[in-house]
Amino acid sequence: MVTLKDIAKEAGVSVMTVSRVVNKRYSEVSDENIAKIQSIIEKLGYVPNSSARSLSSKSSKIISIILQGSGNVLESPYNATMLGYIIQLVQEYGYNAMVHFINEYSDVTKHLQSWNAEGALFLGTFDKNIQQIQADNKLPLVFTDSYSSVRQLINIGIDDYKGGVLAAKHFIENGHRDFAFITPHTSVNQLIKQRLKGFQDTIETANLNLYPEHILEPTNMEETATRLCSFKKPVSAIFVAADNSAIELMDRLKRRGYRIPEDFSIIGFDNLPISQYVTPRLATISQDIKQKAQFALEVLFQHLKKSILTNAEYRTGC
Amino acid sequence: MVTLKDIAKEAGVSVMTVSRVVNKRYSEVSDENIAKIQSIIEKLGYVPNSSARSLSSKSSKIISIILQGSGNVLESPYNATMLGYIIQLVQEYGYNAMVHFINEYSDVTKHLQSWNAEGALFLGTFDKNIQQIQADNKLPLVFTDSYSSVRQLINIGIDDYKGGVLAAKHFIENGHRDFAFITPHTSVNQLIKQRLKGFQDTIETANLNLYPEHILEPTNMEETATRLCSFKKPVSAIFVAADNSAIELMDRLKRRGYRIPEDFSIIGFDNLPISQYVTPRLATISQDIKQKAQFALEVLFQHLKKSILTNAEYRTGC
DNA sequence: CTGAAAGCGCTTACAG
DNA sequence: CTGAAAGCGCTTACAG
């Protein structure tokens, strides 16, 4: 491994002079030395040791990306797409992405402190633990899709309530009167509840009803399909709060001989690419994942620069 | 930040004694001190500094995962699923996952050396640069889906050739005589060529033909659909070497009024969950992504332990 | 069983 | 413009 010392010896200067060149502090070094040192760096293939840098400068150039959930969380296209954009952007900002899948919340602090991460980005549901995480970690923390009531919080989300409103309006305008709401496989969190609330409020404003027994939290889509088809008061309009689940449900219903959208009209959420390849195309509430990632990183680096933690709440449309 | 020194002072011992407890070298410390130190660690919430460890011990506990490709590579369900399993496993082994998206191959060395990664795992096409990467980095490197001719190489792949054979056999057994082969959107690499070769060889062994003009490398599926429908010698059996692309093509053909499988029979590759939710269900060559990830990590850690780099080639069935 | 010394590769802060 | 000193938090290697 080539070190500053090796370069210094070869160039006949001190390590400090080499360090200055490596860090592009050119105004502090003579042109002659800059040229000489750069050519030696090139020749020897010097790569700075990030651990040493992190240790001495307290700046690790690491952004931790923390995903909550069970099993392979990247099987969810939403998580995968979001994570992909985030890593791309972290790299563009000149940082390194360390990815952690989390179950125990105490692990968050462990990971962040252990690597001296400069900032962290959270995907998934952390609502109940945000306060603790914030108390333990004094670095910029950006949450996504959170509905925590913590006041001092940076969150990037969409207007999930409005998503529910849009779904309900669409159904009502198309003459539907009997609705169901299906939560996705993932845990039922505040985000889902917001979508439900927007849906429900809009239905009730139109003097219609979303019956409690028509709100399902499936663990199993096959069973959900069975229940949907055996309601005493049949429904015609189904809002499934995530495309994945909507597509699976649609498949089950079709295999039972029901026609979509004649027998059941379905609206999903996310507008994943795949929702356009099923038959019929899935109607869905769209959200711009790329923009969400961009926002999240912008805010993160803004706070990283300023080192000021202020309250912030950002929501984009859908 | 709490350090070894803080704990040592509080416990009235040297940092070495604390270090031994932190590293669970209990046989070297008195029971009394173990208990005392552990309780202080707990009380103060001590987390070891990984940079310092990495610097002094040369063991970073970092596995770099390197993805090649352009744009958001995690929009590919294959990449996302694979990465998800890999990260899960890296964590289970007690290591940390650093993820890098790569375009320039020189960046590989930069990243690996900079963080003193203990091992690296590669997703995507690196064939032409494997030799260089290996020469520059003396740590266990595990490639996936590679068909490099480099002799000293650890690779985890499936039998892509056999995948092509299976597709051809299925078509032939079902009476098809006119075939097309479509490469996926991604770059045409050796892996795709193997699938093609297996397909082509099997067709020719059956005294049938896969005409060169029926092998398409689409940049645009709409255009591909147009070309498929305007062949002078029409085809009935289409092998698309990735599910994503197969599903998109199927959609285009259906929208033009063609019936699947009556007008065109299609086989994909990967058996992604989504292939079972399109109508009709996509016939596809299955590969076990989870098992591939498990193999990859097993081999990586095997070599990490032994610190011996031997030749190895692993292929699972499909 | 315990600890003092040296060092990992870098940066900060200072003196010149 | 340049460099010697000290230190970041830990581990290795040794002495006792």
Q: How far is the CA of A57 from the C1' of D6 (A)?
A: 14
CA gap A303, A315 in Å, rounded: 17
Domain boundaries, chain B: 4-48, 62-158+291-316, 160-286
Residues from chain B that touch A60, judged by Cβ atoms under 8 A, are 51
pLDDT of residue A309: 40
A44 touches strand C (CB under 7 A): no
Q: Which nucleotide's C1' is closest to A58 (Cα)?
A: D8
Q: In angstroms, rounded to a whole number, what is the distance separating the alpha carbons of residues A86 and A121?
A: 9
Measured distance CA(A166)–CA(A168) in Å, rounded: 5
- Please check whether the two domains, A62-158+291-316 and A160-286, share a CATH topology: yes
Share of chain A above pLDDT 90, in %: 71
pTM listed for this prediction? 0.91
What topology does CATH give the domain A4-48? 434 Repressor (Amino-terminal Domain) (1.10.260)
- Whether residue A97 contacts residue A90, with contact meaning beta carbons closer than 8 Å, is answered with yes
What burial letters (b/e) apply to A133-165, b meaning 16+ CB within 10 Å? bbebbebbbbbbbbbbeeeebbbbbbbbbbbbb
Which pLDDT tens digit goes with each residue over A39-69?
A: 999 999 999 999 999 999 988 999 999 999 8
What sign does the dihedral B4-B10-B11-B14 (CA atoms) show? Answer: positive
Q: What is the mean pLDDT of chain A?
A: 90
Q: How far is the CA of B7 from the C1' of D6 (A)?
A: 23
Q: Is B62-158+291-316 CATH 3.40.50.2300? A: yes
Q: What is the pLDDT of residues A201-250, one digit of tens each?
A: 999 999 999 999 999 987 888 888 988 888 888 899 999 999 989 999 99
Omega of the bond prior to B273 within 30 degrees of 0, cis?
no
What does residue B70 show for φ and ψ, rounded to 5 degrees? Answer: -110, 155
Answer whether any strand C atom is within 7 A of the Cβ of A56.
yes
Residues of chain A with C-beta less than 8 angstroms from the C-beta of B60: 51
Measured in whole angstroms, the distance separating CA A262 from the mean position of its chain's CA atoms is 35
Which residues is A181 bridged to in the sheet?
A215, A239
What does the pLDDT profile of chain B (318 residues) look like in tens digits?
A: 899 999 999 999 999 999 999 999 999 999 999 999 999 999 999 999 999 999 999 889 999 999 998 899 999 899 999 999 999 999 999 999 999 999 888 899 999 999 999 999 999 888 888 999 999 998 999 999 988 888 788 999 999 999 999 999 999 999 999 999 999 876 678 889 999 999 999 999 999 999 999 998 878 888 889 888 888 888 999 999 999 899 999 999 998 999 988 999 999 999 998 899 888 899 999 999 999 999 999 999 998 887 544 444 555 556
| C-beta of residue B168 within 8 angstroms of C-beta of residue B198 | yes
Helices B50-57 and A50-57: crossing angle in degrees, nearest 10, is: 130
Q: From the CA of A18 to the C1' of C10: give the distance in Å.
A: 11
Q: Which nucleotide is closest, CA of A26 to its C1'?
A: D1
pLDDT band at A103 (very low <50, low <70, confident <90, very high): confident
Kindly determine whether residue A274 and residue B91, on different chains, have CB atoms separated by under 8 Å: no
- Give the class (CATH, top level) of B160-286: alpha beta
Task: Identify which of B88, B97, B277 has the shortest CB distance to residue A278.
Answer: B277
Does the CB of B59 sit below 7 A from strand C?
A: no
- For residue A49, which residues of chain B lie inside 8 Å, CB to CB? 55, 114, 116
